[in-house]
Amino acid sequence: MQDEINNAVTVLREGGLLLYPTDTVWGIGCDATNAEAVAKVYALKKRPDAKALICLVPDVPMLEKYIPEIADVTYDVIDLATRPTTIIYDNPVGIAPNLVAPDNTLAIRVASDTFCQRLIRKFGKPLVSTSANISGAPTPQSYAEISDEILKGVDYVVNLHRENKGGKPSSIIKISKDGVVKIIRK
């Protein structure tokens, strides 16, 4: 695993794109603070940049670095979630501008997967995490279902967990800084 983390971090530092296993489905990722890398993800997915992408962080301390105002209820949601849960936050800081939604929000998930946590900690910044498909196409449920276009469009494919099947996208909720919770995707 350590070699894969080192290889992935090298690609991320160079502004490249990764294809990597996450705590949900296989994802396309890049440095969430690098606008040029984020633009490459939108181009590969053929996705309009007005449609925001998700970021992964390994833990709450990194989350707090990029989201200065977090409602208290958020900590309970993170601690008590029984499946991967992405939360949309208001007013992110230090993130590539083309990753932030037009309403100044950002979707972030605290990754539960050991590989993702170790990778992001070593890299030291959040990663983009978007499903490994062209926009509008079905989300691949396994590595074997990822299209050649995606495989050829990234700079590095992590060689771990390729045999895993049945990943599901995370649930998504919005928690405003005043604590109002709204379910976006169950």
Question: Domains in the chain, start-ordered, CATH in brackets?
Answer: 2-185 (3.90.870.10)
Query: What are 32-87's pLDDT values in tens digits?
Result: 999 999 999 999 999 877 778 999 999 999 999 999 999 999 999 999 988 899 99
| Side-chain-side CA neighbours of residue 105 (13 Å) | 16
Q: Between 182 and 63, where is the model more confident?
A: 63
Q: What is the pTM of this model?
A: 0.91
In what helix (H) or strand (E) does residue 114 lie, and over which residues does it extend?
helix 114-123
Residue range 174-181: average pLDDT?
85
Cβ neighbours of 145 (radius 10 Å): 14
* Residue among 132, 156, 154 nearest 27 (CA): 132
Strand 18-21 and strand 156-157: pairing?
Answer: parallel
